[in-house]
């Protein structure tokens, strides 16, 4: 969904607007144009076609986004910032996302939204797939990665993690006092009090 973000990047204040959907057959920003074609197999073609069939409105929307002109993108921006001048804005590819397709219980392909950590090789390699982890999920994703890739080291790391994250390993839903403490600390750190 379109949104505005005020960010400081290299000590310069920037107003970011986005996202505009794009498309690339590359699985990484610096990947190969053949990443997507080389990933198609007889075993996953049905799932891919099923997802395409079940998500025609989304597919239509994404194609429309990819084909948008600079002027059309600027028109969308002016819905949020009416005084925005087209020459003051620069289009930047902020990231690359590979959408995850999984099989459901009936063997049909289902498009997955959200973020998924995939770990293989006995914890020697890991990847974060799907939606980009924002501030709300990045810490959780990293803690899950540590737990899954380094289970033997977690007992030694747990005290440092609990010092940095007082709620680590505890349920905020089951401990209202801890929840209040975490919220108060967050409000103070982010200067949201008052």
The 10s digit of each residue's pLDDT in 159-194 is: 999 999 989 999 999 999 999 999 998 888 888 765
**CA distance readout (Å), 147 to 98, 121, 137:** 24, 15, 15
Question: Which structural domain range is residue 19 located in?
Answer: 1-113
Is 30 within the bounds of a domain? yes
pTM of the model: 0.56
Is 165 contained in some domain?
no
Provide the domain count of the chain: 1
Query: Based on C-alpha coordinates, what's the Rg of the chain?
Result: 21
Assess whether the previous peptide bond of 193 is cis (omega < 30° from 0). Answer: no
Q: Is residue 184 part of a domain?
A: no
Q: Is residue 132 part of a domain?
A: no
| Confidence at 133, pLDDT banded by 50, 70, 90 | low
In a domain, 168, yes or no: no
């Amino acid at each position: 969904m379109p949104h505005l973000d005020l960010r400081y990047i290299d000590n310069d204040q920037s107003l970011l607007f986005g996202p505009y959907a794009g498309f690339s057959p590359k699985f990484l920003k610096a990947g190969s144009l053949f990443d997507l074609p080389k990933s198609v197999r007889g075993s996953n073609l049905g799932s891919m076609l099923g997802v395409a069939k079940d998500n025609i409105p989304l597919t239509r929307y994404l194609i429309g986004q990819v084909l948008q002109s600079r002027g059309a993108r600027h028109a969308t921006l002016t819905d949020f910032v009416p005084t925005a001048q087209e020459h003051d804005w620069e289009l930047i590819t902020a990231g690359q996302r590979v959408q995850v397709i999984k099989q459901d219980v009936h063997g049909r392909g289902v498009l997955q939204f959200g973020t998924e950590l995939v770990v293989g090789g006995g914890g020697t390699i890991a990847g974060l797939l799907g939606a980009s982890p924002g501030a709300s999920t990045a810490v959780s994703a990293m803690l899950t990665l540590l737990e899954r890739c380094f289970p033997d080291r977690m007992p030694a790391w747990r005290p440092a993690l609990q010092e940095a994250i007082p709620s680590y390993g505890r349920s905020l839903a089951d401990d209202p006092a801890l929840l209040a403490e975490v919220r108060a600390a967050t409000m103070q750190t982010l200067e949201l009090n008052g």
